Amino acid sequence: MSILIPFEKDLDKASPNRNIAPLTTEIDSEERLCVGGVSLSSLAKQYGTPLYVLDELTIRKSCKEYCDSLKKHYPGKSTALYASKANSSLVLSSIIASEGMGIDVVSEGELITAIKGGVPSNKIVFHGNNKSISELRLAYDNDVIIVLDNQYDIKQLANIVKPGERKARLIVRFTPGIECHTHEYIKTGMIDSKFGFNADELESIFIQFKKIEWGNIIGLHAHIGSQIFEVQPHRDLADVMVKILEVGRNYGHPIDILNVGGGLGIKYTSSDDPPSINSWVKVVSESLYEACENRSQKLPLLMCEPGRSIVGTAGLTIYSVGSKKEIPGIKTYLAVDGGMSDNPRPITYQSKYSTCLADRPLLSGNKRVTIAGKHCESGDVLLNDVLIPDCNGGEILVVFGTGAYNSSMSSNYNRIPKPASVIVSKSNADLVQRRECPEDILRNDILPDRFIAKD
């Protein structure tokens, strides 16, 4: 199995999202797999398994490609935001801030993480289809751009912003009625979606806000899905958004932001063929420019919200191999010390991944196995029918492409503690999230006095 694409100057060929492994992946003199100059088996010995590993260079290169491509292809102002739902942490927020990007958040926890990680509040956008009063108040108090998802948001904000106070900065989210070929659960642009206003409601929203003094509609937002390999839907989206932009401006609203969401896919397996970051940005930029030209509209600030394509390829998970079950003529199960609690995507989305052994990465696979997790669930399978070298308990298995929606969607199913996370760069590894222990899981449990046995 080929996991590496050599570094190239050509943006389309070197784009991190088109690589299965992190960009710093290499084989050392002992034929061990290394990332960021650190062998993965040595990380397993030092920090234990399962372990999330992030490659700093791959994250930074992804950020730079979005920012540079926007400057290259879009003649107006632009801002790339990191969709922190993909993986939220202080270290990722710090990297995003240092690369000049903004961030989008969907909860109080993600917002606090972004702020404490150093992201300027004026570069934060707050999403959510059911925001609480406390979340909206925190966002408003920090002058964060708030995305209006429904009338409930409007009602809540009307009770938060007092007369004479600073106006809230608002972006209206709507469903553009555009579908793309991705998993049903991660389609968000179709009309039947829990997110956003229907497009035919927007004129009434513009009329409603002519009488509202506590907030300004400064932008529009639409997002069509996740893990997308197509570019045509983004061409269609630009035209739809500019039509609505024109209507909003005609009603006197200072709409100067169009946020096209994110959704660019990454290469999980050799059969995946996503567009590069550069080519995706080029299509989005040129489509928006053409749509504005056709309607004689001033170019808005272009926002996009990549998440998976920033951190997905940058991350991997290492496991220790445990038990083996052979069913002659049917299947061989190889169990690891993690599973659906640290990676729920296979059981949720039927997601596929690539794998190899950390200390024998160049050995051709001669054994077809199914990599199973340790949880009490028949569906707890990380990889189905993959070829790897015959291996024994205690060996280290690497699963690539786990930087997005693994740590952020992890759970304590079966009361299993969450893994630690490290970031690697220039032969150094830094712990960025501590491993949970069983006592951490019990921390919020309360046993009322009447349940305590009396002597």
Other beta carbons within 10 Å of 141: 11
**Active-site option among 63, 180, 292, 376:** 376
Q: Are 335 and 322 in contact (CB under 8 A)?
A: yes
Residue 209: HSE in the Cβ half-sphere, 13 Å Cα cutoff: 29
What are the Cα distances from residue 87, in Å, to 92, 394, 413?
A: 8, 29, 19
34 is catalytic: no
Encoding tokens for residue 151? 């009338």
215 CB-near residues (< 8 Å, 6+ apart): 157, 161, 167, 168, 169, 170, 209
Closest CA to 53 of 96, 22, 95, 13: 22
Which pair of structure tokens corresponds to residue 263?
A: 């959704």
Q: What is the DSSP string of 35-101?
A: ETTEEHHHHHHHH-SSEEEEEHHHHHHHHHHHHHHHHHH-SS-EEEEEEGGGS--HHHHHHHHHTT-
| Dihedral (Cα; 406, 409, 414, 420), 10-degree rounding | 50
Positions marked catalytic: 376
